[in-house]
């Protein structure tokens, strides 16, 4: 019985590690995350470099992207759950106009900054040419992962917990 449980645990861990390794490839990994200054839909200034000391989940999304819509409520839940431990979610809408994402962000009560992106911000992050794309940034500002497409939420949350545990 114990052996079976251990085998299953190993298999799950291996699968999570493989999924994570597959997602963590790209030119920005292990480098300082590109800094940006933007104003969110609530009029607050968001400066990435001022978030040093926090684990940042930076998510690029669009209102008409179905996988993005599926992720956002989970990110809102994580923001509530892990805020005290130092998680900061930032959502960058890549819609062409602010009206729809502003309305959706307000409706969903996300509890984290939501701002409008553009091609310059996309290019700064290696090109955002498909949605959703998320980036995970460690407390020291180092990019640790680029996650293309809808995230494996279990693996992503495990990685966030791991980064939060690093002081």
Partner 1 sequence: MSFARLFLACALLVVVVPARAQFAQPAAAPESAMSIPQDHVMQIDELNDMLKDGKAGKPLILQVGSHVMFAQAHIPSAQYAGPGSQPEGQHLLHAKVVNLPKDKVIVLYCGCCPWTRCPNVGPAYAHLMQMGFKHVKVLYIASNFGDDWVRRGYAVEKGD
The answer to the question of residue 32 lying near partner 1 (CB under 8 A) is no
Of the candidates 149, 144, 167, 161, the residue with the CA atom closest to the CA atom of residue 21: 144
The answer to the question of residue 123 lying near partner 1 (CB under 8 A) is yes
Stretch that binds partner 1, among 29-37, 43-51, 78-86, 94-102 (CB under 8 A): 94-102
The answer to the question of residue 7 lying near partner 1 (CB under 8 A) is no
| Least distance (Å) between residue 71 CB and partner 1 | 12
Length of the chain: 167
CA-CA distance, 49 to 122, in Å (whole number)? Answer: 17
Single out the residue of 75, 117, 134, 143 in contact with partner 1 (rule: CB under 8 A): 117
Q: Are 79 and 112 in contact (CB under 8 A)?
A: yes
The answer to the question of residue 103 lying near partner 1 (CB under 8 A) is no
The answer to the question of residue 98 lying near partner 1 (CB under 8 A) is no
The answer to the question of residue 94 lying near partner 1 (CB under 8 A) is yes
CA-CA distance, 94 to 101, in Å (whole number)? Answer: 9
Stretch that binds partner 1, among 29-37, 44-52, 77-85, 91-99 (CB under 8 A): 91-99
Of the candidates 107, 103, 111, 101, the residue with the CA atom closest to the CA atom of residue 76: 111
- Distance in Å from the first CA to the final CA of the chain: 37
Q: Which residues bind partner 1 (CB under 8 A)?
A: 62, 64-67, 94-96, 117-119, 122-123, 127-131, 148-149
């Amino acid at each position: 019985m114990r052996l079976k449980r251990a085998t299953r645990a190993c298999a799950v861990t291996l699968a999570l590690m493989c999924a994570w390794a597959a997602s963590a490839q790209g030119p920005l990994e292990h480098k300082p995350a590109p800094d940006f200054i933007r104003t969110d839909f609530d009029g607050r200034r968001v400066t990435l470099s001022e978030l040093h000391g926090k684990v940042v989940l930076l998510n690029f999304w669009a209102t008409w992207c179905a996988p993005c819509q599926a992720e956002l409520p989970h990110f809102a839940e994580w923001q509530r759950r892990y805020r005290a431990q130092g998680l900061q979610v930032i959502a960058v809408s890549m819609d062409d106009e602010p009206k729809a994402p502003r309305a959706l962000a307000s409706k969903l009560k996300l509890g984290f900054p939501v701002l409008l992106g553009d091609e310059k911000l996309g290019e700064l992050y290696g090109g955002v040419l498909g949605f959703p794309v998320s980036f995970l940034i460690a407390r020291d500002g180092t990019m640790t992962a680029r996650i293309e497409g809808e995230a494996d939420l279990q693996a992503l949350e495990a990685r966030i917990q791991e980064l939060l545990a690093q002081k």
